[in-house]
């Protein structure tokens, strides 16, 4: 995976309008040769960007790109920290390595992750500029037990932030996915550290598909969706600000009242509520009808016998009937 050097970032800013720019013009603006421009364009492609090259016209991005703006994010989210690292291994890992200098609500955002990870260590594909990639730090003085159901609250906050930005129709899948028309739109990964009896430090990561390049779409091995299906994404920075702000407010409420305060919202947004599903626990598979969550955030599953079973997180997976 390539790095985003200052020269490549300058090249990207010139191409961000989505128009054709000749190699000669780009070389003049950047004070490099046309051959060097071509090499740097290849490096941008390695970041997951789709760049067209047409003889006689030059280079252009497949779609215009609005880059994240450190100054705007910092001003809008102050006094919380907003740190932008355009290309990073993992925003979650970066924040986990930075715990000693963080305050509740601080965020790290990136245009591209080279070592993004999902639940159970799965690889997370994150092409440059194609997603909203964010990690937030939080601290629960009550300890790890108080974090029960937190990933559900994160999902609710993100969906409500999207609704406020005009993107309606996103649903939730227990315990940590956002769904659009039955396909995965975003994943949430909560990582925590702490000691028995002490406070719990949390890093809350999210990857939300905005508009994925064709070349990157082929690398995803599950049904996926992108926010662009619901309308034009005109302000990526505004989207980051809205998500971070909603999440901060929701976590404050969660600290005070726990997951029970969010149960009604979850059940309204639950994609599988009332649907026949399978719960996978290792080699065991349990069929039933999803009935939302209880006051502790556990999944409720109505069995054929009429009994309702409660499932908490861990190594449990939820699948719709017919899903692999």
> Residues at the annotated binding site for biotin?
90-92, 113, 117-119, 184
3-state secondary structure (DSSP) of residue 178: strand
Cite the active site residues. Answer: 119, 184, 319
Question: If residue 37 lies in a helix (H) or strand (E), which one and from where to where?
Answer: helix 34-46
- The annotated binding site is made up of 90-92, 113, 117-119, 184
- In the 3-class helix/strand/coil scheme, how is 209-224 assigned residue by residue? ECCCCHHHHCCCCCCE
Count the neighbouring beta carbons within 10 Å of the beta carbon of residue 210: 17
Cβ(203)–Cβ(135) under 8 Å?
yes
d(CA 269, CA 215): 32
DSSP 8-state class, residue 59: E
Largest CA distance in the chain: 74
Contacts (Cβ under 8 Å, ≥6 apart) of 317: 279, 280
Distance CA 105, CA 225 (A): 28
- Cα–Cα–Cα angle for 188, 191, 192, nearest 5°? 145
- The answer to whether 266 and 293 are in contact (CB under 8 A) is yes
Q: Which residues contact 237 (CB under 8 A, 6 or more apart)?
A: 66, 68, 69, 72, 73, 76
Going 94 to 97 to 98 to 102, the CA torsion angle's sign is positive
Q: Are strands 131-140 and 107-110 parallel, antiparallel or unpaired?
A: antiparallel
């Amino acid at each position: 995976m390539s790095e985003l050097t200052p020269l490549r970032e300058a090249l990207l800013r010139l191409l961000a309008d989505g128009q054709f720019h000749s190699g000669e013009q780009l070389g003049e603006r950047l004070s490099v040769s046309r051959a060097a421009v071509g090499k740097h364009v290849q490096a941008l492609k390695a970041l997951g960007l789709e760049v067209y090259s047409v003889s006689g016209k030059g280079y252009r991005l497949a779609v215009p790109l609005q880059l994240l703006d450190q100054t705007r994010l910092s001003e809008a989210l102050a006094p919380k920290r907003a740190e932008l690292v355009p290309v990073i291994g993992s925003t979650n890992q970066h924040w986990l390595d930075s715990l000693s200098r963080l305050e509740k609500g601080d965020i790290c955002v990136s245009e591209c992750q080279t070592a993004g990870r999902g639940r159970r260590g799965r690889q997370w594909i994150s092409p440059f500029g194609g997603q909203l990639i964010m990690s937030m730090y939080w601290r629960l003085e009550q300890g790890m037990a108080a974090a029960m159901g937190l990933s559900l609250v994160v999902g609710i906050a993100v969906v409500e932030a999207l609704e406020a930005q005009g993107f309606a129709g996103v649903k939730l899948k227990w315990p940590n996915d956002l769904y659009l028309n039955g396909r995965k739109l975003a994943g949430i990964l909560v990582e925590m550290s702490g000691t028995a009896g002490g406070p719990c430090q949390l890093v809350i990561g999210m990857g939300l598909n905005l508009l994925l390049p064709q070349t990157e779409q082929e690398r995803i091995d599950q049904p996926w969706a992108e926010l662009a299906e619901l309308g034009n994404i005109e302000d990526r920075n505004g989207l980051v600000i809205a998500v971070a702000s909603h999440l901060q407010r929701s976590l404050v409420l969660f600290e005070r009242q726990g997951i029970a305060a969010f149960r009604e919202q979850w059940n309204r947004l639950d994609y599988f509520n009332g649907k026949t599903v399978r719960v996978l626990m290792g080699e065991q598979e349990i069929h039933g009808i999803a009935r939302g969550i209880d006051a502790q955030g556990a999944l409720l599953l109505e069995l054929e016998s009429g009994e309702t079973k409660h499932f908490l997180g861990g190594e449990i997976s939820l699948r719709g009937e017919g899903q692999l």
